[in-house]
Structure 1
Amino acid sequence: MEENFESRIIEGRNAVLEAFRAGKTIDRLFVLDGCKDGPVQTIMREAKKHKDTVVSFVKKERLDQLSETGKHQGVIAYAASYEYAEVEDILAKAAAKNEDPFVIILDGIEDPHNLGAIIRTANLAGAHGVIIPKHRAVGLTATVAKASAGAINYTPVAKVTNIVKTIEELKEKGLWFACADMGGTEMYKLNLKGPIGIVIGNEGSGVSRLVKENCDMIASIPMKGDIDSLNASVAAGVLAFEVVRQRLG
């Protein structure tokens, strides 16, 4: 499963086309704006088959800026360093262990070190998987892999288009959701047993309004210090291990 960390950026028409055809997960595809020739059209057709690929049409200066080789031929792709799972795979993992599902949903984490640390925590807390959004969030990069200290090889990460819709679908399967937010109920007073999902928001803006409205509980972490917020990965760790404590209880 592990790939060379350097394989993240793929440049040039043949290399990008081969990556798509080999079934690599391509997070982002940058194409020279206005370029309509045959090979680029073929790449675009491949990209359309891969629903997770975000395509951006950019000027030559942007491609030159992104390029590491200087030979991009009008196309640069960013491949996920690791493969994504499906949400079903996460639930299947819980079923195989005969455990209530325990998932961690991240609403727009942008810092790769935070994502890596959360995947590491998820693994150690016995969570069955992590769910991240497709847009406006970091994906599985080499930096994330490194920060996860190897946990990325064991803890499935699913990437979804719509976090709210995913929460609704998981609720139908019996999961309850608690989001970490300042204005909530102290987490020690909440019942976090049973099938549970914890939701951690963006580093700056927290959990988005729509996501928060779709959670069953708002869990606040009691804080005694002089500053008002915890780092996102630390908040995920504190809340995840409260789930662990209650499950052991």
Structure 2
Amino acid sequence: MSNEFIYGFHAVKTVLQTRPHDVKQLLTLTNRHDQRVTELTKIADTFHIPCAELSKIKLQELLGDVNHQGIVARCKPLAPWSEKELMHCVENTPKVLLLVLDGVQDPHNLGACLRSANAFGVHAVIAPKDHSASITDVVKKVACGAAEQTPFVAVSNLNRTLKQLKEANVWLVGFDSEATVALNEVDLKGNIAIVMGGEGEGLRRLTRETCDYLANIPMLGSVESLNVSVATGVALYEAQKQRGNA
């Protein structure tokens, strides 16, 4: 079975705490024995996970030119949720909160969206398989552990999945800078899927037409729009605020 490499202190600590039996080896930078590294090696020892030190050059050969912070976990890949698992979650979760990303292609944006999704209690993140960023080492690093905890569902036909969600009584709230309804005017307390568009083009036509509501985030300054990851955080905060959780 292939391996994946998770790096960075937050991401590695999360995988050690939530999926220790999937971690095959903990790699650290040679001669780095500070408090943060020691904490993680102690967790690894608890679960009898082998530890090894590698030079800076060897880590770069293994991972490429990334900011690994001198800590890497070699793991069994985490399988994404299937569409069947998604619908099971929807049918069995009161007031389900989902995040749909329609064509987010920048891995840094995907990682930031996953981090916000985890912070605001999203039950699953949904994205199309094609023309979208997938879960990579970079995404996991940016997500700071959220990619290891928040279910991610890559679907083959996003429009079909959105229609299935509607049939399951989930309301689709899409975000469009040209919408005439403000975010805080939409009821986000029930079964809700927040639908965000990709960088630049925003929501695709079919996605926009499938949404039950289109809302905007009121802008008071001179800029016309927010980065998708920032807008996602604002939207999810508003949802939890309406639910009495923020």
Give your verdict on TM over 0.5.
Answer: yes
How many residue pairs are counted as aligned between the two chains?
175
User: C-alpha separation between the residues in 1 aligned to 2:114 and 2:183?
Assistant: 21
SS in 2 for 1:138: coil
CA contact (8 A) 1:81 1:141 kept: no
Out of 207, 211, 216, the position equivalent to 2:212 is 216
- Which residue is 2:12 aligned to? none
Out of 232, 237, 246, the position equivalent to 2:233 is 237
Q: What TM-score do the two structures reach when normalised by structure 1?
A: 0.66
Indicate whether 1:183 and 2:208 are aligned.
Answer: no
User: C-alpha separation between the residues in 2 aligned to 1:225 and 1:191?
Assistant: 25
- Which residue is 2:140 aligned to? 145
1:219 CA drift (Å): 1.1
1:204 CA drift (Å): 0.7
* Amino acid across the alignment from 1:222: P
- Taking only the aligned residue pairs, the percentage that are identical comes to 38
Q: Which has the higher contact order (CA 8 A, sep 6+)?
A: 2
1:104 CA drift (Å): 0.3
SS in 2 for 1:4: strand
* Amino acid across the alignment from 2:155: V
User: C-alpha separation between the residues in 2 aligned to 1:90 and 1:248?
Assistant: 25
User: C-alpha separation between the residues in 2 aligned to 1:168 and 1:105?
Assistant: 13
* Amino acid across the alignment from 1:3: E
1:92 CA drift (Å): 4.0
User: C-alpha separation between the residues in 2 aligned to 1:152 and 1:95?
Assistant: 23
CA deviations over 1:146-170 (Å, ceiling 9, x no partner) = 1110011110000001111100001
Structure 1 outlier segments of 4+, above 2 Å: 80-83, 87-96
- Which residue is 1:172 aligned to? 167
SS in 2 for 1:248: coil
CA contact (8 A) 2:199 2:227 kept: yes
* Amino acid across the alignment from 1:205: E
Q: CA RMSD in A?
A: 2.1
CA contact (8 A) 2:6 2:141 kept: no
